[in-house]
Homo-oligomer: A and B are copies of this chain.
Amino acid sequence: AVASPAIIASNPVVEWRLVSSFPKSLDTIHGAGDTFAKALGEMSGGNFRVRVFAPGELVPGMNAADAVQNGSVEAAHTASYYYWGKDPTFAIATAVPFGLNYRMQNAWMYQGGGIDLMNAFYQRYNIIGFPGGNTGTQMGGWYRRQINAPEDWRGLKMRIGGLAGAVIAKLGGVPQQIAGGDIYPSLEKGTIDAAEWVGPYDDEKLGFSKVARYYYYPGWWEGQAMLHFFINMDKWNALPKHYQAMVRSAATMADIGMMTRYDLQNPAAIKRIAIGGAEPRPFSEAVLEACFKASNEVFDEICAKNADFKKVYEATLAIRGEDYLWFQLAEHTYDTFMMIQQRKGLV
């Protein structure tokens, strides 16, 4: 049955500018912004038009949240934890050390009240946010020397930011803020001893293996890293309700699209990296335990003085505890068995 459209069902022309915090060279991450724009265009019959801008074209990538807040752009594709300096609560929506894994972060965000909890916080910045991409568990970065014991963090000059940097400092390391393009020469000259970036597919492009051969895992500060679409609250409120529904849905398309791209591209990249001479190494359990302890100290300090952080962080802890019990059964046992077969050359 096909009838005339009611007035509510018309798709008005809406034109948005979306600032991405991620350069086009990071095609998997930047691409999630493109996925979002494309989905909105397609679902609105071409009338909800989102133009994606690379960092620096309108505003610097790290200023994306400010540009959304003050309305100079309608939307951004960014990482909430870039704004942890305003308030560490921003970080929880992306990743915190020893936090949730991918499945758990999604469970918290999409079903466990995470989206609403974060938006109750974001509204003070005139922002509403929706999940829009994930990297999965990241690698632990590139090191010019080995980390064999907790003491090896001492004095280590490492390019690492945010809450993870605070944990590194507690371990005796020296966190450094260095832009992506400056990491390679800093490692080459020995100005820094280590640097973390993302995972094989992105790291490979920067060629770190030539200047820091030890490629540690896991990135214990990013058991997953979720990106967000930030939208100016006034622009959001001005949208017809069915366009708001399209935004949520387009963000979800971008979210799953980015994770699946990584899961398809990382395997070949890690093999090329290893063949190229890098040495993937696991952090030992003793090293991870020391990092976990230091992380908990950092969280205790923040929780003692920031009630917002405490509330949101504790919501994630409840899911972390429950799911890490359950996932030990079917999921982990299945994957472990399959990995053993992989090592035998049988899968």
Contact = CB atoms under 8 A, between A and B. Distances in A.
A241 B14 contact: no
A134 to B, nearest CB: 10
A326 to B, nearest CB: 4
A102 interface: yes
A261 to B, nearest CB: 5
Interface stretch (A50-58, A119-127, A179-187, A316-324): A316-324
A240 interface: yes
A341 to B, nearest CB: 7
A14 B101 CA distance: 40
A219 B335 CA distance: 11
A8 B136 contact: no
A344 to B, nearest CB: 10
B292 A42 contact: no
Contact of A43 (B242, B331, B336): B242
Interface in A253-303: 253, 255-257, 259-261, 263-264, 266-268, 270-271, 280, 282-283, 285, 288, 292
B326 A106 contact: no
Interface in A82-100: 98
A264 B154 CA distance: 39
Contacts of A329: 139, 217-218, 270, 280, 282
B43 A14 contact: no
Contact of A347 (B139, B200, B321, B334): B321
A282 B338 contact: no
Contacts of A223: 334-335, 338
B257 A217 contact: no
B346 A327 contact: no
13 contacts: A1-B13, A9-B45, A104-B263, A111-B257, A112-B260, A138-B330, A218-B337, A220-B337, A249-B250, A256-B256, A267-B323, A324-B338, A325-B342
A334 B10 contact: no
A165 B91 CA distance: 47
B333 A218 contact: yes
Contact of A342 (B8, B112, B266, B321): B321
A339 interface: yes
B326 A200 contact: yes
Interface of A: 1-6, 8-15, 39, 42-47, 98, 101-104, 106-107, 109-112, 136-140, 199-200, 217-220, 223, 240-242, 245-246, 248-250, 252-253, 255-257, 259-261, 263-264, 266-268, 270-271, 280, 282-283, 285, 288, 292, 317, 319-343, 346-347
B11 A3 contact: no
A339 B327 contact: yes
A241 B326 contact: no
A331 B321 CA distance: 17
Contacts of A252: 249, 252-253, 256
Given A9-B47, A200-B326, A111 B261 contact: yes
Contact of A340 (B109, B256, B285): B285
